[in-house]
Amino acid sequence: MRFKNVSRITGIFFVLVTLSILLLYVQPAIAAAPNLPNNSCADCHRKLLFSTEEQRQFIDIRIKHLENGISCSIVCHEDKLNKTTASTYALWSISTHALFDVTCEKCHGGNASAVSKQGAHVGLSNISIARTNTPETCGKCHQAELGEFKGSKHFMKLESGETGPAPACITCHQAHSVRVLTASEIEDFCRNCHNNITGIDPTVPAKAENALSSVGELRVEISKARSAINTAKAKKLDVTRAEVNLDSAMTILKDTPSVWHRFNLTFFDTEVQKGITEAQKATNATSNAQGTPAATKTPGFGAALFVLGLFVAYFLKRS
Ligand code: HEC
Ligand code: HEC
Ligand code: HEC
Ligand code: HEC
Ligand code: HEC
């Protein structure tokens, strides 16, 4: 009996020690591991970073240049480097797509469960990544944006097959970094095409900056309304009306990224202004709010527990 107890204590001790070791060593290792998807395309391309022949040559050239005090040609070599497969991986690995498991084969095709390069590259498609086809490729997941984009002059121009520039998804977002242009960047960017030299509506860049800035204004009005509602709630005022207004302002905000892709700036601005008005209505409604009638209050969890307690006491006494 005594012996059995000792072995049980040793057993428990052993389990505790093992657990502590696991906690000490394994957990930090898991936490430190890059939080990137497990995918053969990504796994192999990750290893190409600074290991391709072209990159080794680039580094050699760079060292020679540095040794000779020449630095001016580095930019052009870097341009070439940027075009390599490895830099593609580097851009993607810090993108929102990497975070959400949008791995290489989702756009390129190929076989992501094959380990060898030959096996994995079977079925790589140049068609899906062709610039003018990116609306369809990206639109598989971004249906709302594609839906709006199909109604835009940009899409019509792309589809018409006419020569002359028209932006596709990757013109504005880039294929691998999938960056989103901010209000302060937008004017310069749109001006690449929309200017007096090309004659493509040169009033667009300034209007676009205004339109995106008012989305910021909408956000501010929404957060004002939200805190006004919270304050009113704390005072036990009826905020039903204010919440209806706030909800419609939030729906408009949620839809702005997709509506944007119709590239009808007048329509976009009208929508955003509507949202701002709704949020302001919500804030105003809180100052006119009345106290909530006590009768409409629903019994809480505490009341339910109390009733349950009474039942239990009754049955215990009976048995
Ligand atoms: C075992 C390593 C390995 C795997 C797995 C791998 N690749 Fe590659 N990939 C390479 C190498 C190396 C290159 C550089 C060009 C070359 O050597 O063919 C490359 C080049 C590419 C290119 C550009 C050249 C081309 O042929 O168009 C694309 C696109 C590409 N890979 C996509 C993918 C996708 C998508 C997957 C997963 C379905 C994948 N790769 C899996 C090693 C790999
Ligand atoms: C969201 C879609 C998408 C994802 C995800 C994606 N790519 Fe691409 N990739 C593209 C598009 C579109 C192009 C064409 C870019 C252009 O024309 O400027 C491209 C171009 C390339 C190229 C240039 C060579 C060529 O065939 O033109 C390579 C290499 C490449 N991608 C590799 C990768 C690798 C490796 C991954 C994963 C780490 C990846 N891509 C993830 C869409 C994607
Ligand atoms: C397999 C599905 C899939 C494909 C294909 C895809 N995306 Fe995405 N994309 C996502 C997901 C998931 C997110 C992250 C969640 C979200 O914002 O909806 C995302 C996010 C984005 C964002 C927001 C990035 C940010 O930082 O807020 C942009 C821009 C974007 N994608 C553009 C593109 C473009 C351009 C293409 C085509 C070259 C593309 N996507 C193809 C699934 C996809
Ligand atoms: C002319 C430039 C341009 C083109 C073309 C374009 N976008 Fe956008 N996209 C933007 C801008 C600017 C925003 C930010 C809009 C906003 O903040 O309301 C955006 C926002 C987005 C978002 C949402 C990001 C977020 O923060 O939620 C996604 C996803 C997206 N675009 C995907 C696409 C897809 C897919 C296509 C092609 C069908 C496309 N875009 C074409 C400029 C463009
Ligand atoms: C690659 C070139 C290119 C870029 C970049 C570009 N556009 Fe355009 N845009 C065009 C073309 C081409 C048209 C069509 C002109 C026509 O057919 O009347 C157009 C038309 C428009 C229209 C309709 C104008 C009208 O008068 O009806 C709007 C709005 C617009 N673009 C917004 C933008 C915004 C906002 C940006 C920047 C985020 C942008 N564009 C970037 C080429 C471009």
Residues 17-31 pLDDT 10s: 444 443 344 333 333
Give yes or no for a contact between 276 and 218, defined as CB atoms under 8 angstroms apart: yes
- For residue 144, the tally of other CB atoms under 10 A from its CB is 13
Q: Which of 139, 110, 133, 131 is nearest to 42 (CA)?
A: 110
For atom 43 of ligand 4, the residue with the nearest CA is: 172
C-alpha 165 to ligand 5 mean position (Å)? 9
C-alpha 31 to ligand 3 mean position (Å)? 26
Q: Output the CA–CA distances (angstroms, integers) from residue 72 to 11, 56, 68, 83, in the order listed.
A: 69, 19, 11, 19
For atom 14 of ligand 5, the residue with the nearest CA is: 153
For atom 13 of ligand 4, the residue with the nearest CA is: 180
Q: How far is CA 246 from the centre of its chain?
A: 24
For atom 20 of ligand 1, the residue with the nearest CA is: 85
What per-residue confidence (pLDDT) applies to 242?
Answer: 95
For atom 37 of ligand 5, the residue with the nearest CA is: 190
What per-residue confidence (pLDDT) applies to 124?
Answer: 94
Of the two residues 48 and 283, the one the predictor is more confident about is 283
CA gap 24, 17 in Å, rounded: 10
Tell me the pLDDT tens digit for each residue of 58-110. 655 655 555 565 543 344 445 555 556 667 888 898 899 999 999 999 999 99
C-alpha 261 to ligand 4 mean position (Å)? 6
The rounded percent of the chain whose pLDDT value lies above 70 is 68
Give yes or no for a contact between 202 and 194, defined as CB atoms under 8 angstroms apart: yes
Cβ(45) – ligand 1 distance below 6 Å: yes
Cβ(208) – ligand 5 distance below 6 Å: yes
Amino acid identity of residue 227, one-letter, is S
Where residue 191 falls among pLDDT bands split at 50, 70, 90? very high
Tell me the pLDDT tens digit for each residue of 204-221. 999 999 999 999 999 999
Q: How far is CA 26 from the centre of its chain?
A: 30
Tell me the pLDDT tens digit for each residue of 233-290. 999 999 999 999 999 999 999 999 999 999 999 999 999 999 999 999 999 999 887 7
Cβ(140) – ligand 3 distance below 6 Å: yes
For atom 22 of ligand 1, the residue with the nearest CA is: 85
- For residue 119, the tally of other CB atoms under 10 A from its CB is 12
- Which ligand 1 atom sits closest to the C-alpha of 111? 38
CA gap 309, 315 in Å, rounded: 10
Cβ(261) – ligand 3 distance below 6 Å: no
Where residue 44 falls among pLDDT bands split at 50, 70, 90? confident
What per-residue confidence (pLDDT) applies to 76?
Answer: 45
For atom 19 of ligand 3, the residue with the nearest CA is: 97
Q: Which two tokens stand for residue 240?
A: 């039903």
Looking at the CA of 44, name the nearest ligand.
1
What per-residue confidence (pLDDT) applies to 275?
Answer: 98
Of the two residues 202 and 307, the one the predictor is more confident about is 202
Q: Say how many residues make up the chain.
A: 319
Looking at the CA of 258, name the nearest ligand.
4
Query: Which residues, in sequence order, are CB contacts of 241 under 8 Å at separation 6+?
Result: 285, 289
Of the two residues 262 and 313, the one the predictor is more confident about is 262
CA gap 104, 15 in Å, rounded: 43
Where residue 291 falls among pLDDT bands split at 50, 70, 90? confident
Q: How far is CA 135 from the centre of its chain?
A: 18
CA angle 257/128/145 to nearest 5° reads: 10
Cβ(106) – ligand 1 distance below 6 Å: no
Cβ(36) – ligand 4 distance below 6 Å: no
Of the two residues 6 and 48, the one the predictor is more confident about is 48
C-alpha 38 to ligand 2 mean position (Å)? 18
Cβ(181) – ligand 1 distance below 6 Å: no
CA angle 130/131/135 to nearest 5° reads: 105
Q: How high does pLDDT run on average in the chain?
A: 80
For atom 41 of ligand 4, the residue with the nearest CA is: 169
Cβ(142) – ligand 3 distance below 6 Å: yes
Mean pLDDT of the region 221-234: 96
